[in-house]
Structure 1
Amino acid sequence: MQDWQILTITAAVIIGVVFLVLKGRLHPAISLVIGALALGLSTGLGIEETTETVMRGFGNILYEVGLLIAWGVLTGSLLHATGAITRLVDSLLRIFGVKRVPYALAISHGTVLQSIFPDVMLVMSAPLVRRMVPFMGKNGRAKLASAMALGIEVGVVMVVPGVGALALAGVMGVSLGKMLLFGGLVGVATMVITQLLMSLAFDRGFWNPKLDEAFPTEVEEKTTDLSPAAAAADTGSTSTPGGSTAVTTGNLVEKKELPLGLLFAPMLFALLLMAVGGVLEIMETGHPVLGFLATPVVALLIGLLGTFVLAWRALGIEKVEESLNNGFRESGLILILTGAGGSLAEMVGQSGMGDILGKFFSANSAVPLLTVWLIAAVLHIAVGSIVISSITAASLLAPVAAQIGLDPVLIALAAGAGSMFLVHVTSNTFWLLQSLLGQTTRGAFKTVSIGVSVASVVALLLTLLLSLFF
């Protein structure tokens, strides 16, 4: 089969997947598998090899990241149950002060809280973020809303343990230690730079409270005249002599409050172990014991077990079991979607796309990185899923990396950057941020759509800069 035929078939399959999701209202995971099957049969792989390739791709990516995603989601579920998210957000205003709160909010949600399912993280954090609005001064709502959007969307595809970052590492065959180091570097820098740019824009007339903000919620009206400490008390929390906060979340009442730092310590320790493993890999050195502990599946398991013990002490075994059951339910959909993306990635490799695309790219890394960014951006605009668009774009360019000497982590970062472009009305996160943070749809377009699009471009530029050193 000629090169132009394979390129045409692949493009048609991708368009078909988008059509199934948008017009056919078919679930993305099912659409991706149908697309993989269609690509295999259309490029002449045959029935047996096509089905084997789909299953092999599904299994290979879950072999790489399946347990890691499960451990991360379960850890996040336990942290959610202990009220740690609520307490963390509540502490940001007291610790960092008004001017630095948006940056702390973005970084915390884009890093240490990424093991929590994004929608859950947003729903839990939004009430306390709204309580911060009256103390933020001019355009406070806009700055906090953009910070939340940046933390959630940038973190999910660029920073381990975000589910998108884990999936991209699996598709590209990048070690989690390396993804943690470089994804964290690019991701945090992207959040800080973008938040600075958006804050400057808001203060120079880009935000119009009359048109961009909904009427204040009841809780904001009640806390407008309160001090930060009083506002924290109004959340349903009680202060302790040590300055900690006992939180009531819905029907959940903690039986025993533990220090906030202690609750996050196991997960932070796990991330530290993986970072050390990544440094040792780059330095091409290692130690048997440390190497074992730094293995991602072991490191995240240590973090999960540590969080489990602390949650048991705080909540009792019944609440912990309930939280773990919720975590298993959440992780199922993520794992299936990730596996479906792996099936398409494997089929693209089998179809010969790698050899074909390799002919169009020189050793100049900018061309394939710009290409994967553009593919991911177009897919995200059409489908509305950051994870799906990033995995699909990365899978198309994965075979090219080895041929042109491009480090796979750069393709993973470029795909993640492109997948953030233009978060809009097809995204559930868009509507959650719009409604939960008191914005009009016009306001959400500014803080979410434009804000995260700026982050997409910033992340691409940082990735291109990083490529100069590889």
Structure 2
Amino acid sequence: MDIMEPVHGTAYLLSVAAIAVAVLLFLIMKVKLHAFLSLVLVSMVTAVAAGIPLADVPDTLLSGFGGTLGNVALLVALGVMLGRLLEKTGGAQVLADTLIARFGEKRAPFALGVAALIFGFPIFFDAGLVIFLPIIFSVARRFGGSVLLYALPTAGAFAAMHAIVPPHPGPVAAADLMGGDIGVTLVVGLPVAIIAWFVGSYLVGTRLGRRFVTSPAALFADAADDSDAPAIAPPRFLAVLGLLLFPLILICLNTGVSTLQTAGVVSEDAGWADALILLGQTPVALLLTVLLSLVVLAPGRFSVSKATSLMDDALGPVCAIILITGAGGMFGGVLRASGIGASLTESLSDLGFSLIVQAFLIAAALRVAQGSATVALTTTAGLVSAQVVELGLGNFDIALLVFAIAAGATVLSHVNDSGFWLVSRFFGMDEKTTLKTWTVMETTLGLAVFALASLLWVVF
């Protein structure tokens, strides 16, 4: 999408942006209008106010929406299909039980966190936390101590994967809006997410978990007796681990072969190289993984038609997330096309902030103001995308910007964030305790991600 020559001055455009964000927050938080409708309405009004010709407004809106949706919807759909199949066959329980047996009782919080990191690759934060609830409470009863000792590192692992690693919608949309490569974002994002989780979530979460003792609702205390647990034999640990590693291996091969072709080590005409690059494209890798999961998990457990029903059930709840993500891309696209994004980033540049710091600060401000990490990710990516193009940044640098934006979209979770209430109610915390535990841990997690991204930005 081309960026038009601004017809208004910087002060006017920044005022339009500020008013647009304020109206968006008012509609979502006070009026309680659906986020999708709010984003579409504000995007349209902002486009007109910013001076985009009326005849071009529909194309501008659809360009931002369709471009984001085309990339996000496919990856999110395939990711939740894989997560649903693993969930219903007991894959999450197998991961947790095996890792706890390997690491031992004293490292049970670490084992649960590692299991959540692995399982959090294809599944959303909310869904992953709900799936792990029976496991968390079962382990807490078995080994004793505060349930938060086990819950916070686990929740932090799902939060880290959801914010940083594709195929989750936020990082996918952010990378796409800035013209980055999703495969590179995934490959670099995995070690960043793991290290940031250990420093900002595991170390902090276990310390907070030992300090605060809560009384969770009885409903969850008995969650180990879940009547919906699969009666069939669960898959083996290596089968679950292999299914989750399979797409990562394909994507790594894609990145490696592409790098070798760029360096001239491998001929660009090599058919085998083109085949590996195709198989390692993120949507193709996930599609192959879903099909492989049917071959590995279905025999002796359920028919293909039953698997289809399970995947249908998984797709329904994510439709709203996909549409909101697309609408966030629409709003970001309007900000970019109108020149507002360039005006904002230039203003921050005049204050001496580098692009990666700008990205973090904008995302953090949006996160605090409206609560949604996905909206903060997509909106910020749209705002800074003009400067990314101007600087001609490569895929690695764009991936680091994605992480900086994700870091800003993670910090300071509070009462306008659905995740805040989810953790609060599941683990029996009042608002004050949740602010002292979950909010603190989310902030240290985000700061750890930003520190790693900034270090890599400076070094490389």
TM-score by length of 2: 0.87
Deviations 1:220-249 (A, max 9, x none): 6x9xxxxxxxxxxx945xxxxxxxxxxxx5
Q: What is the aligned partner in structure 1 of residue 400 from structure 2? A: 410
Q: What is the aligned partner in structure 1 of residue 291 from structure 2? A: 305
Q: What is the aligned partner in structure 1 of residue 236 from structure 2? A: 259
Structure 1 residue 81 corresponds to structure 2 residue 88: yes
Q: Using the alignment, how far apart are the partners of 1:359 and 1:323 within structure 2?
A: 48
Q: Using the alignment, how far apart are the partners of 2:357 and 2:110 within structure 1?
A: 28
User: Given residue 63 of structure 1, which amino acid in structure 2 is its aligned partner?
Assistant: G
Task: Give the conservation status (yes or no) of the 8 Å contact 1:102–1:143.
Answer: yes
Q: Using the alignment, how far apart are the partners of 2:26 and 2:431 within structure 1?
A: 26
Distance of aligned partners of 1:218 and 1:416 in 2 relative to their CA distance in 1, 3 Å threshold = closer
Gap regions ≥5 residues in structure 2: 1-7, 267-272
Structure 1 residue 271 corresponds to structure 2 residue 248: yes
Q: 2:355 aligns with which of 365, 368, 391?
A: 368
Structure 1 residue 36 corresponds to structure 2 residue 43: yes
Deviations 1:144-177 (A, max 9, x none): 2221221122211102232322222222222121
Task: Give the conservation status (yes or no) of the 8 Å contact 1:175–1:278.
Answer: no
Task: Give the conservation status (yes or no) of the 8 Å contact 2:124–2:158.
Answer: no
- Written as runs of structure 1 = structure 2, the 5 A alignment for 1:122-137 is 122-136=129-143
Q: Which stretch shows the higher mean deviation, 106-115 or 189-198?
A: 106-115
Q: Using the alignment, how far apart are the partners of 2:151 and 2:434 within structure 1?
A: 8
Task: Give the conservation status (yes or no) of the 8 Å contact 2:50–2:338.
Answer: yes
Distance of aligned partners of 1:100 and 1:89 in 2 relative to their CA distance in 1, 3 Å threshold = same
Distance of aligned partners of 1:42 and 1:276 in 2 relative to their CA distance in 1, 3 Å threshold = same
Q: 2:367 aligns with which of 380, 384, 394?
A: 380
Distance of aligned partners of 1:255 and 1:319 in 2 relative to their CA distance in 1, 3 Å threshold = farther
Q: What is the aligned partner in structure 2 of residue 295 from structure 1? A: 281
Partner secondary structure for residue 459 of structure 2: coil
Partner secondary structure for residue 468 of structure 1: helix
Q: What is the aligned partner in structure 2 of residue 423 from structure 1? A: 413
Structure 1 residue 316 corresponds to structure 2 residue 303: yes
Structure 1 residue 350 corresponds to structure 2 residue 327: no
Task: Give the conservation status (yes or no) of the 8 Å contact 2:345–2:355.
Answer: no
Q: What is the aligned partner in structure 2 of residue 328 from structure 1? A: 315
Q: Using the alignment, how far apart are the partners of 2:25 and 2:294 within structure 1?
A: 40
- RMSD, aligned α-carbons: 2.7
Task: Give the conservation status (yes or no) of the 8 Å contact 1:127–1:436.
Answer: no
Q: Using the alignment, how far apart are the partners of 1:134 and 1:255 within structure 2?
A: 25
Partner secondary structure for residue 315 of structure 1: coil
Distance of aligned partners of 1:8 and 1:101 in 2 relative to their CA distance in 1, 3 Å threshold = same
Report the alpha carbon displacement of residue 207 of structure 1 after superposing the two structures with TM: 1.7
Q: Which stretch shows the higher mean deviation, 26-35 or 276-285?
A: 276-285
Partner secondary structure for residue 105 of structure 2: coil
Q: What is the aligned partner in structure 1 of residue 67 from structure 2? A: 60
Q: Percent identity?
A: 26
Q: Which stretch shows the higher mean deviation, 82-91 or 445-454?
A: 82-91
Partner secondary structure for residue 115 of structure 1: coil
Task: Give the conservation status (yes or no) of the 8 Å contact 1:176–1:296.
Answer: yes
Task: Give the conservation status (yes or no) of the 8 Å contact 2:105–2:143.
Answer: yes
User: Given residue 253 of structure 2, which amino acid in structure 1 is its aligned partner?
Assistant: V
Q: What is the aligned partner in structure 2 of residue 98 from structure 1? A: 105
Q: What is the aligned partner in structure 1 of residue 269 from structure 2? A: none
- Written as runs of structure 1 = structure 2, the 5 A alignment for 1:212-251 is 213-214=214-215, 217=218, 235=224, 250-251=227-228
User: Given residue 248 of structure 2, which amino acid in structure 1 is its aligned partner?
Assistant: L
Q: 1:207 aligns with which of 211, 226, 229?
A: 211
Report the alpha carbon displacement of residue 423 of structure 1 after superposing the two structures with TM: 1.5
Q: Using the alignment, how far apart are the partners of 2:158 and 2:441 within structure 1?
A: 12
Gap regions ≥5 residues in structure 1: 223-233, 237-248
Q: What is the aligned partner in structure 1 of residue 270 from structure 2? A: none
Structure 1 residue 181 corresponds to structure 2 residue 187: yes
Aligned residues: 440
TM-score by length of 1: 0.86
Report the alpha carbon displacement of residue 190 of structure 1 after superposing the two structures with TM: 0.6
Report the alpha carbon displacement of residue 218 of structure 1 after superposing the two structures with TM: 8.1
User: Given residue 47 of structure 1, which amino acid in structure 2 is its aligned partner?
Assistant: L
